[in-house]
Amino acid sequence: MSAARLDLKSSLEAALGAEVAEGAALSAHTSFRIGGPAAMLARASRVEQIAEALAIASRAEIPALVLGGGTNLLVSDGGFDGLALCVELDGISIDVGGRSVTAGAGVPTAALVERLVSEGFAGLEFAAGLPGTIGGAISGNAGCFGGAMGDRLKAATLVARDGAILEVRDPSWFAFGYRCSRIVKTGAVIARATFAVEPGDRARLEEIAAERVAARREKHPAPGVRTAGSYFKNLPPESPGGMRRAAGALLDQVGAKAMRVGDAAVFERHANIIVNVGSASAKDVLALAERMRAAVRDRFGVELEPEVRFVG
């Protein structure tokens, strides 16, 4: 490691009060279990730590990769030549009077939903069983069963890439769209977020949540299977106000479920999900994704857009 990188590492360790790892395999931090080493890997459990780490990286002009649950992410086999920062802010606080819940960005989305349902609060039960953490779910406006995280967001604490801490209380600031937000476009980092909830019937909420989890398990891989979830975005509706067209339906029609490159294979129950069935490389996944994309393009004249983000 160069003298400049050693100085950077020392500055990060002083700011974070913890050791910064060199050459840590990012495969251990992604749901695909794919990815080469990061030049440096650090952990932040407070807003101020995120801000200090990003400010240091910005001043040193090195790239920073922010990690939560590592879902929806494919990291290059060559790794990431910069700072990988694991955001681990936890904690859930329910304001009964204000009808809101605040959670740290590192809280698993499924855990937040489970807590709300168990205490009889409605609003996020559509996301029962959704993989990943709150931070990533907001950034990509994750959604399912007709709901999306942006629909319920009231406010958030963000950290800009230069380390500035922002308190955003106007939901329109986020400019949420289908699987996108201003967060992705600006590179800001979610530290904690507040969602609108309301009292509901606990028994009915538990029933809805169980139905959502069961429906997910019917078509999606079981927890622990190495995957990043749906690989391509669903297509825009054919007419204004219509439903989005499922990318999986088109992929099914071109025989995608039979496709495989190395240890990257299309999931047997969902044609829009790629799984790592052994020791798949990022190169395998990219090659398989391009084969799937080309088959849809040739058959339907439609260009699929990745939902999974590639890094490195």
The three-state secondary structure class of 83 is strand
Give the domain 222-311 fold.
3.90.78
Answer for the pair 133, 176: CB distance below 8 angstroms, yes or no. Answer: no
DSSP helix/strand/coil, 62: coil
Structure token pair of residue 100:
């809101």
Active-site residue identified among 43, 179, 226, 293: 179
Neighbours of 231 (CB within 10 A): 28
What pLDDT is stored for residue 209 in this prediction? 95
Domain residues of the chain, as ranges?
3-87, 92-217, 222-311
Q: How far apart are CA 53 and CA 294, in angstroms?
A: 41
| Ordered DSSP codes for 243-285 | PPBPHHHHHHHTTGGG-EETTEEE-TT-TTEEEE-SS--HHHH
Catalytic residue list contains 179: yes
* Closest-CA residue to 149 (of 183, 120, 98): 183
Tokens of 25: 């395999």
The β-bridge partners of 22 are 40
**Chain centroid offset of residue 6 CA:** 31
- Our answer to whether residue 307 is catalytic in this structure is yes
Listed residue (241, 233, 242, 243) closest to 293, CA to CA: 233
3-87: CATH class: alpha beta
**Structure confidence at residue 12 (pLDDT):** 93
CA atoms within 13 A on the CB side of 231: 28
Q: What dihedral angle (degrees, nearest 10) is formed by the CA atoms of 161, 165, 48, 10?
A: 30
Active site residue 125: no
For the segment 106-146, what is each residue's pLDDT rounded down to a tens digit?
999 999 999 999 999 999 999 999 999 999 999 989 888 88
What is the 8-class DSSP label of residue 124? S
Catalytic residue among 11, 27, 230, 281: 230
Topology at the third CATH level for domain 92-217 = 3.30.465
The phi and psi torsions of 263 (rounded to 5 degrees) equal: -100, 15
Determine the length of the chain.
312
Q: Which of 296, 303, 242, 297 is nearest to 271 (CA)?
A: 296
Q: Is 85 helix (H, G, I), strand (E, B) or coil?
A: strand
What pLDDT shows up at residue 241? 72
pLDDT value of residue 1:
60
Look at residue 272 in the predicted model and tell me its pLDDT: 98
Distance CA(209)–CA(116), nearest Å, equals: 11
Residue ranges for the chain with pLDDT beneath 50? none
